[in-house]
Amino acid sequence: MEKLKKKNWGKLLQENSALLSLILLLLLATIFKGEVFLNYKNIINIFLNNAIIGVIALGMTLVIITGGIDLSVGSQIALSGLIAVSVFNATGSAFIAVVAAILFGILTSAMCGAISAYCNVPPFIVTLATMRIFRSLAQYFFTGGGIQVRGDVDKYLIISDIKVFGVIPIIIIYWLILTVIVAVFSKKTAVGRHIFAVGSNEKATMLSGINTKHVKVAAYAILGGLVGVAAVMESARLGSMNSASSGINYEMDAIASVVIGGTSMAGGSGKVMGAFIGTLTLGIINNMLNLLGVTPFLISAAKGLIILLAVLLQTRLQKLDRD
């Protein structure tokens, strides 16, 4: 009986570790910097500053659940954003620009997934290579600089400039809507369930008649589409994109958000809502470090430590569940 209780507690903690961590962090933030932290503008800024990473993290969750990873999303968002702005400047159509960015993201990420799945190359190696390729292409075609939105700029900038009810930036609404869509997709569709099956036991999934290679490519394609959306969001918010600096370290923030959200790096388990919570958690940590006056040079170190602690906690909780 005692062993059963211990196992149940371990499973409960494992399933809700991300939410419990977020609640604890909110309590600490309220205790130490309550007046500033709970200010409405500060809360909106936390959501606003992390919405783009949050959108990428949704797709990264699906890829990691299959047992894969994508290190190229930071470079990809830069190239996708540059393409979106270039297309808008050439055509004057925000719609065509958005479609171009999303299609580019889908095609390039599907390519990464296909190379990994069909050529049996570890996804870490494939996306490490494409990370350098995408960044190099962006710098080559845009001579190491950037591009600004030109022409009837309001037609493009309005994508990110709208405020719902006059107070909530539309970027936050995009993030919330996409979170719901991807969460429902992962749980209620055949492809979503296959993604979990591939990550849990690829061989058994293959023997059951499911084409596991197609599933992996699909997961990467979804991530690519979301990267394209994120690229449009960022370029419309800033009114420009830069081939050298845009998207830097976005892959690490997205992976950190997924891991903090409780998705196993070994694949097979995780929640899309966990990625949402993980992104918020990481955003609150960044916000608190800034409010406490911590030097920006140490913030990346803090993120690295958080990823390590999250993985160690996952390992411990999984061991409790097995025992």
Q: Over the stretch 124-145, which tens digit does the pLDDT of each residue have? A: 999 999 999 999 999 999 887 8
Nearest-5° Cα angle at 264, 262 to 267: 140
Residue at 295 is within a domain: yes
10 located within any domain: no
Task: Say how far apart CA 21 and CA 313 lie, in whole Å.
Answer: 11
Q: At 267, is the pLDDT very low, low, confident or very high (cuts 50, 70, 90)?
A: confident
* pLDDT at residue 165 tops 90: no
Which domain does 38 fall in, by range?
15-322
- What's the pLDDT score for residue 186? 94
Backbone angles phi, psi at 141, to 5 degrees: -75, -20
Local confidence band at 218 (pLDDT 50, 70, 90 cut-offs): very high
- Three-state DSSP state, 90: helix
158 part of a folded domain: yes
Q: What is the CATH number of the domain that holds 167?
A: 1.10.3470
* Position 31 confidence tier, pLDDT thresholds 50, 70, 90: confident
User: Into how many domains does the chain fold?
Assistant: 1
Residue 168 belongs to a domain:
yes
Q: What are the DSSP calls for 4-73, one per residue?
A: HHHHHHHHHHHHHHHHHHHHHHHHHHHHHHHHHHT-HHHHHHHHHHHHHHHHHHHHHHHHHHTT---S-H
The answer to whether residue 5 sits within a structural domain is: no
- 61-108 residue pLDDT tens: 999 999 999 999 999 999 999 999 999 999 999 999 999 999 999 999
CA distance 323 to 4: 9
- Tell me if 8 is assigned to some domain: no
**Which DSSP symbol is given to 189?**
S
Q: Per the domain annotation, does 238 fall within a domain?
A: yes
Distance CA 177, CA 294 (A): 33
* Cα end-to-end distance, the chain, whole Å: 13
